[in-house]
């Protein structure tokens, strides 16, 4: 999939929506100096072209009782299609896994985990992850504090 050609106004729209996704079309149009109808057309084009992939609320994990986050690196015993497919299917089912990335290097996957506490993490690790056929090794790191949280993708400058 190739990059979409974006002009300065498109980038301003994306920056504003990444910061405040609940802006009304009128508010967004005012911020980027467009008429509401022109603004709406551009946003709809960005959605249609897949540049805007969706909208979501940012939810505070601690307010939900998910006070512990960890990053878990996973190494699979085998790398055949069946093992990789089975692991991917299991990861999709586990609510505790909030992100999963395939990696280069000595570990195969990086999982971002959100759980209530150390006991919840332990149950997840022992009952689910290590119990999954095909997992050879795991290495866990706990988040002490978040220095910079995800605030949107870096946008090209024009």
Q: Give CA–CA dist 41/38, Å, rounded.
A: 5
Q: Is residue 137 part of a domain?
A: yes
DSSP 19-43: H-TT--HHHHHHHHT--HHHHHHHH
Task: Judge if 85 and 43 occupy the same domain.
Answer: no
Q: What angle do CA 75, 150, 102 make, to 5 degrees?
A: 20
Percentage of the chain lying above the pLDDT 90 cut: 91
Q: Is residue 154 part of a domain?
A: no
pLDDT at 149 over 80: yes
Structure tokens at 113: 């985990």
Task: Judge if 131 and 66 occupy the same domain.
Answer: yes
Query: What is the mean pLDDT of the segment spanning 54-80?
Result: 95
pLDDT at 1 over 80: no
Q: Is residue 153 part of a domain?
A: no
H or E element: which one contains 62? none
Mean pLDDT across the chain, nearest whole number? 95
> Using alpha carbons only, how large is the chain's radius of gyration in Å?
20
pLDDT at 44 over 90: yes
Q: What is the pLDDT of residue 133?
A: 73
Q: What is the pTM assigned to this prediction?
A: 0.88
Q: Give CA–CA dist 10/39, Å, rounded.
A: 9
Q: Of 122, 127, 130, whose CA–CA distance to 70 is shortest?
A: 122
Task: Judge if 34 and 96 occupy the same domain.
Answer: no
Give the CATH number of the domain where residue 66 resides.
Answer: 3.30.70.920
Could you report the per-residue pLDDT of 95-147, keeping only the tens digit for each? 999 999 999 999 999 999 999 999 999 999 999 999 887 899 999 999 999 99
Q: What is the pLDDT of residue 154?
A: 94
Structure tokens at 157: 């400058």
Residue 3: pLDDT band (50, 70, 90) is confident
Q: Give CA–CA dist 151/158, Å, rounded.
A: 20
Query: What is the mean pLDDT of the segment spanning 25-52?
Result: 97
Q: What residues are paired with 114 via a beta bridge?
A: 69
Q: Is residue 117 part of a domain?
A: yes
Q: What is the pLDDT of residue 2?
A: 82
Query: What is the mean pLDDT of the segment spanning 12-32?
Result: 96
């Amino acid at each position: 999939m190739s990059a979409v050609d974006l002009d300065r106004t498109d980038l301003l729209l994306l920056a504003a929506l990444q910061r405040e996704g609940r802006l009304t079309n009128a508010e967004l149009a005012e911020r980027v100096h467009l008429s509401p109808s022109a603004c709406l057309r551009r946003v709809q084009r960005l959605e249609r072209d897949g540049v805007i992939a969706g909208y979501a609320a940012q939810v505070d994990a601690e307010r939900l009782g998910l006070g512990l986050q960890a990053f878990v690196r996973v190494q699979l015993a085998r790398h055949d299609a069946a093992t990789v497919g089975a692991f991917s299917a299991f990861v999709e089912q586990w609510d505790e896994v909030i992100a999963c990335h395939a990696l280069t290097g000595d570990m195969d996957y990086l999982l971002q985990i959100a759980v209530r506490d150390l006991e919840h993490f332990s149950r997840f690790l022992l009952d689910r992850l290590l119990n999954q056929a095909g997992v050879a090794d795991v290495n866990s790191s706990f988040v002490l504090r978040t220095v910079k949280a995800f605030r949107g993708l870096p946008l090209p400058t024009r």
